[in-house]
Structures are given as C-alpha cells and as structure tokens.
Amino acid sequence: MLNVTARQELMRTIVDTLGVVVEEARLDFGENGLSVRVVDPSHVAMIKMEVDSAAFDAWEVDETKLGLEMRKLKEIVGIAGAGDMVELAYNDESGQATINIGRIDLNLRPLDNTTLNPPNVPALELPCGVTISGSELAQALRAAKMAGDLVNLSITDSSFAVNVKGSTDEVNVEFSKDELTAIDCSDAARSQYSLTYLTPMAKIFQGIDNVNLRFGENFPLKLTFDFSDGAGHVEYFLAPRVEGDF
C-alpha cells in the first residue's frame, strides 16, 4: 500500500529532475522517504535522489517500488497549479497506481519493475570542489551554450572557470574565490562535458541557492544540491568528453 501527498512544486522538482536523465524510472518508497537511482541509456549521466518523507504532506507507505513513465507524470503534474496537492497512490492488489489532483483522477498501470534496475553509483575520488549559487552557474552555462556544445570546466585553489571555444565564438566566465561560497582544490584540474546533458540540468538547479560541483582532470562531474529546505537531495553524475581512445 502506498499513499503520498505533496504540493505540486515538490512533485514537479522530483519528476523534472529525473526526467533530465530518463524516460522511465523506478521510484523506491520506503518508511522514511523516497529514493531513486537512474542512468541514461548511454551511461553518460546518472542521478541519485533522496527525498525525506518530511517533505511530503502525507506519507503512508509500505515499502513499494513503483516503475513510472516520466513523460506522463510531467504532464499530469503540469496540469496541477502551483500550491495544488498532488496525491500518488498504489494498490498492490489491483496493481493500479492513481494520481489525484482535486477532482482529477488519473489511473495508470505502473511499468514492470524488474526491467528498471537502479544502476550502481560509481565510486569516484574527485579532488576538486566548488560551491556556487545555482542561478549564477545556470547563467554561465546558458552563456556557454551560445558558443558551442562542449564546455570546459577548470578549477584551481582560487578560481573556477567555465569556457566554451566554438568554431567562431568563445565564451569565458570566471569566478574568483570570494565570488564563490566555497572552493577546495589540491591540484588544478580541467575537464570537458557535453552541454547537451548539462543544460537541461541547469534548468533544474537555477533556483537553488547552493550547488556543489566536484570533478578532476578529465574525470566525471558530480553535482549535488538540496531542495525542499534540505529534505530533498540530488547527486548528478556526468561522464566527461575525452579526446583520443576511451
């Protein structure tokens, strides 16, 4: 049995965030909260999400793993207005999931769970990190997109820079130590990522106060942030672009 209710904004954050990476996800509801791990089919981007039950307005949960289509959820959550309550229920006897918004009831059949195995999160040693305002980072990435599709992130112990060198244009955005919430870096590093993956994620974190980025030289990026007053937590992993054999 499952019956959870949350404001539209929270449901939207959850669905939009997961939707950046996958079309289908297995949502694991437990006694204390929701946890999800998804990876895109190319294994380039991954999300690990945890949402504490406290972020929800109602939480009646017997451990349930629910496979759902993000597109459908996005659509139904989009129909609800800001501040509306969205209720998600699952009846294990009928195998039916129901989303209720006011007088709207959407009955849907969940996806086969066994085909949606959560990926293992890679164990990464990421030597450099920076904490930055979500809106400033999103703005830098939006500017970067103007020059090309591949963004270079570089970091030293005192600065963090976003750079794109296109065939004709170039964009540079540099943040010095005092413009950042925090920075730590023992060895200067630079790594390149695809904006095709990163830009949709920027839309998610542009309203977040503090976003933490960690990476290393030609190494995956790990981007973490909280939402819903710290009750929700997202880890986003992105594999780098590397020249030559890989």
Partner 1 sequence: MGSNPALPAFLKSSREAQVYPMSAPYMGCNLRDLANAEDTTVEAMRGKRVGIDSFLLAFQFLTTIRDRSPTGDGGPLKSDNGKVVAHLMGFLSRASMMLAKGVKPVFIFDGSHPDLKKDEMDARRAKREQAEADWKAALEVGDFATAQKMAQRCVKYTPEMVEESIEMLTLMGIPAFRAKAEGEAQAAVMAANGQLDAVATQDWDALLYGAPVVIRNLTSDGSKRMGRVIRAQRIELSQLLTENELTRDQLIDLAIMIGTDFHPGIKGIGPKTGLKLIKEYSTIEAVCEAKGKDIPDRLDEIREVFRNHPVVEVDDDFLKQGDVDVEGLKKFLVEDRQFSLKRFDNAMDLLEDAGLVRTGGQTSLFSF
Q: What are phi and psi of 168, to 5 degrees?
A: -120, -35
Query: With binding defined as CB under 8 A, does residue 116 bind partner 1?
Result: yes
Query: With binding defined as CB under 8 A, does residue 124 bind partner 1?
Result: yes
**Alpha carbon of residue 134 to chain centroid:** 13
Shortest distance in whole angstroms from residue 237 CB to partner 1: 6
With 0-12 / 13-18 / 19 or more C-beta atoms within 10 angstroms meaning exposed / middle / buried, residue 214 is buried
26-45: contacts with partner 1 (CB under 8 A): 39-45
C-alpha distances out from residue 30 to 33, 60, 189, 239, Å: 5, 10, 39, 30
Q: How many CB atoms lie within 10 A of CB 225?
A: 22
SS3 (DSSP) at 228? coil
At which residue do the structure tokens 């939009």 appear? 16
Query: With binding defined as CB under 8 A, does residue 234 bind partner 1?
Result: no
- H-helix or E-strand spanning residue 182: strand 182-185
Query: With binding defined as CB under 8 A, does residue 195 bind partner 1?
Result: no
Contacts with partner 1 by CB under 8 A: the residue count is 27
Q: Which is nearer to partner 1, 82 or 246 (CB)?
A: 246
- N-term to C-term CA, the chain: 46
The residue from 220, 224, 225, 232 that contacts partner 1 (CB under 8 A) is 220
36-95: contacts with partner 1 (CB under 8 A): 39-46
Query: With binding defined as CB under 8 A, does residue 243 bind partner 1?
Result: yes
Query: With binding defined as CB under 8 A, does residue 167 bind partner 1?
Result: no
Q: Which is nearer to partner 1, 26 or 145 (CB)?
A: 26
Query: With binding defined as CB under 8 A, does residue 186 bind partner 1?
Result: no
**Alpha carbon of residue 84 to chain centroid:** 23
Q: Which is nearer to partner 1, 30 or 119 (CB)?
A: 119
**Interface residues toward partner 1, by CB under 8 A:** 39-46, 112, 114-117, 122, 124, 194, 219-220, 237-244, 246
